[in-house]
Amino acid sequence: MARNLAVVGAGLMGSGIAQVAAQGGWTVTLVDTTEQALARGRGGIEASLEKFAAKGRISAEDAGATLGRISTGTELDAAADADLVVEAVFEQADIKRDIFATLDGLVKDTTVLASNTSAIPITKLAAATSRPERVVGTHFFSPVPMMALCELVRGRHTSDETLATAREFAESAGKTCIVVNRDVAGFVTTRLISALIVEAAKLHESGVATAEDIDIACKLGFGHAMGPLATADLTGVDVLTHASENIYTESRDEKFAPPESMRRMVDAGDLGRKTGRGFHSY
């Protein structure tokens, strides 16, 4: 397959996807609305590659070649020649649908449109296009250069060819894939972690145990690498709250409804590591 990729959204996820794709040999265009956002994204990629080179995981030459394969643009038109587009913007369905509708009129008929969403049904996004068979979910994990998993999600009309294209892309970027065959909100991984985090937050809210002890219980009792509340802090309490709310809205399953304490943390700006305070302090 041709290897021209566009990534829409230069935040933590989008820049990470751009990096691993460029490391895998793809020619990448990173798209965001402002030069400032693109500069931050490119700066993050440079810092990540420098760390890898310092640790001997890649050579300085490979790091330079990876950066050389990444260009930037502030308009979606920059994605026009892409063979694959990955959308990696904020978890809000209306914003994503607008992007997909615009891309549908810009890119080639053969282009695959993918979303990095962690919870929004792919079918809902695909319906904004005239090519639902060429729309797929490619859910990467943060931080993308370090995490080995990519969750591939079939929409209701996603073709086998599109799924195969998405798998080839993700594997070329160094990821191991799982396939979600039925397009339920939250897929596999976000449903599992959301249910665990929501229950952990409820236990914390009601004073059953401290955040520290809840996380220790999951690490030592279940062998988890990180406890659920520390995971929420790493991912972003706001991100997990929105994801759980999206699943709850779609499923009406009460176990996914974020407790009041999580909503108030978002209101207060206690979003986890990125703000210095969440369930834990940093």
User: Binding site: which residues?
Assistant: 48, 55, 118
Residue 161, burial from CB neighbour count under 10 angstroms (0-12, 13-18, 19+): exposed
Q: Report which DSSP code applies to 233.
A: H
The Cβ of residue 167 has, within 10 Å, a number of other Cβ atoms equal to: 17
Q: What is the amino acid identity at position 86?
A: V
User: Could you tell me the two tokens for 133?
Assistant: 């068979």
Are 53 and 8 in contact by the 8 Å Cβ rule? The answer is: no
Dihedral in degrees, nearest 10, Cα atoms 77, 82, 84, 87: -20
Report CA-CA distances (Å) from 56 to 48, 70, 172, 185: 13, 22, 20, 40
What gap in Å lies between CA 230 and CA 277, rounded to an integer?
Answer: 11
Ramachandran area for residue 111 (φ above 0: left; ψ -120 to 50: alpha; else beta) = beta
Q: Report which DSSP code applies to 259.
A: P
What gap in Å lies between CA 128 and CA 100, rounded to an integer?
Answer: 6
What residues are designated binding site for CoA? 48, 55, 118
Residues in the chain, overall count: 282
